[in-house]
A and B are shown apart, each in its own frame.
Chain A
Amino acid sequence: MKFPLSWLRDHLDTDASTDRIAEALTQVGLEVEGVRDRAAELAAYRIAHVISAEKHPNADKLRVCMVDDGSGAPIQVVCGAPNARTGLKSVFAPPGTYVPAKDITLSVGVIRGVESRGMLCSAFELELSEDHDGIIELPEDAPVGQPFAVWAGLDDPVIEISVTPNRADALGLAGIARDLAAAGLGKVKTPAVAPVAGTGANPVGVRIALDDAALCPAFALRLVRGVKNGPSPEWLQKRLREIGLRPINALVDITNYMTFDRNRPLHVFDAGKVKGDLVIRRAQDGEELLALDGKTYKLDADMVVIADDNGVESLAGVMGGEHSGVSDATTDVLIESALWDTLNIARTGRKLGLISDARFRFERGVDPAFTLPGMEMATRLVQELCGGEASDVTLAGAIPDAARVIDFPFSEVQRLTGLILPRDEMRAILVALGFAVAGEGDVIQVTPPSWRADVEGKADLVEEIVRIAGIDRVESTPLPRPGGLTIGVLTPLQRRTRTARRLLASRGLVEAVTYSFISEKEAVAFGGGQPELKLANPIAADMSDMRPSLIPGLLAAAQRNADRGFPDVALFEAGQTFASDAPEGQSMVAAGVRRGTAGIAGAGRSWEGDAKPVSVFDVKADVFALLTALGVSTAGAQIVPGGPAWLHPGRSATLQFGPKAVIGWFGELHPATLKALDVKGPLAAFEINLSALPAAKAKATRARPKLALADLQPLSRDFAFVVDAGVAAGDLTKAVAGAERNLIVDVSVFDIYEGERVDPGKKSVALSVTLQPKDRTLTDADIEDVSAKIVAAAAKRAGAILRT
């Protein structure tokens, strides 16, 4: 809500400066978003006289003007305006002046060979109107050399405040002044409303035909006959323009004035166009209204309308209809002052996408007690500006009395805020804000004023007192410290997430945070896109779905980096994924992508050989390093070839601790996925569900068994087996490791060969087996015995034949 300071002064007698007023507004909770002082902004613009205007020697549409701005010698200015002519009074800006509408600072220029030292200005350039057809034309008597803004009456700062939803009463100048006066900035001088005596019954009847009386508690209507509508007086037009409203005609301007002056939205009907009585009823489904904004709205039975024999004339509390709107030809006017249900108005406005000053106020709640005074004040304004004879007021329904008494112990202020204030001061604040206060001692009886429907209980009264007394008077108080040391507060999952971040970052992956919202296309490619994971109101079309995986976001990020000239990137993210809309469908996941040559050995070219494109083994190494860092034993982990459809079926694997305990996957991306998402590889990715990892062991410190170190040398033997190409090397190593558990302590693969020296469909896997003797040195016979067991186990469990 914004207002010029002069308007506030109608309601507040104060000698405080603009800065002090702005500061006080923020202090009482009416946060100032900006103060616009046009006089200060336009200080350099002066009224000037065009001494002469000659045609530019080198341009048909330009003129060379000599301008007197009151500073002495005439100034030469090149001007393109068609109305630049000798003798004109206009507005001049010298070099160095900032032009707000064009966001430029003027300098001395040469235009088509003629020097120009400044500018004659249009109303558009000064942000006064949209008119940029020519320079401003001022009357003959405008004083040359005077600041234009002061002469034009623009020296009235406009303050814009942000009003919180609970403070409906501060959406009118009277309410704002009340707060400021309570805070000690002056005295309220809002004029009292003098009723206008009616001169006879209102011939237009009003009937509330609603199944729920709360939708329209009261509806007042009055006819004013014989008015002469037309432009409103300059003071009113100026005020409306200053708050960003377009003056229309006196009757409409009066309703807008009342809206901002007293937070009392009104509607005016042209009585000549209303047929029969007014009925307040629910709209019928499908009924239409051409509203005053020129748009046609399709209504439904949840909405309340005001109708006559012609049909719907107005959408209650939101916007009037075009048909019965007032015009310059209006002679008889019906003034409506009504009360509506806040929630119903909000729903209607939201459903229709219709924003109006009336809706904004009715959905927050207006002062019910001002319904009739508002009618009287509007009538008086109509008579002052347009003349006419007023009927009696018709009132359908009744003005509700929401008076309630709150038992309020003054000690609540200290209990909740720590602030100790004298009772007199607290009482005075409540009274200044319009609360009725009765009783003495600590507990008093407080009746909130009719305009403060938001005040429900003791805590609200504490807020009223503290915001007016000054929240800066609340002194910060150290919290009492509990004894002993602070204990850890992180959950196991939080600890794992932190560890995962550090581990991955230390492996050279750069941490990213991407949006939890992705496009439907990406979601579907990664197993998502379910209806329950769609956003009701996405902020953009490509952010429509909750992500089922972190990979799509990381792929897009990797591609963006590649497009900017950084093709070799390794990124990771630790964040939430969503498999369903149930709480258990949400998981904490650590995922990474490696692109280009950004493998574990480092990217780019090197004298020792260029880095190779990323592969499944880079991301496999990431996953195992991650599990190790998280304290998850990989002994029981199963690596099952293949993974979700977005991974390359032959160069990927699923990591699990059993068929129902899948914890993630890693591999190169499927070419079809890359194509569908319009990203280019080489790309490898991994994803580990931290929420699904086996639980960490109990934290209590455990004593461990005595370390039995062998004092005999370990020895190793190499074996090469031929197996079917489809056999996983891991199965072979497991078979071998199990051949003699007392001696074999490690089995590792050191070579794999497929080619002409083995049969088609077969591969050779070379293993290094480490034997650790325990009580005596092994003899040749012992070693041969173990070797035989290894060959037998490999044959039995993996179909392997020792290569000879």
Chain B
Amino acid sequence: MTIKLEINGKIDHVSGEITVRELLREKDVEDPDMVSVKLNGTILDRAAFDTVQVRENDEVEFLYFMGGGSQK
């Protein structure tokens, strides 16, 4: 059953109460190593991607690692 989330400020729907890692895959985030995830105001430890699940009405932010362009 789909659930409603707010992802990067926009309302979105995902397939269910899935883990953060699954969420990244479902939202086509190419490289989970290049993203930091904020869930309901808290920055997640990378190790928690596999254990923490998203729930209805959660607010998620994907923050991308950005270098300087020439040498990323």
Q: Determine if chain A interacts with chain B.
A: no
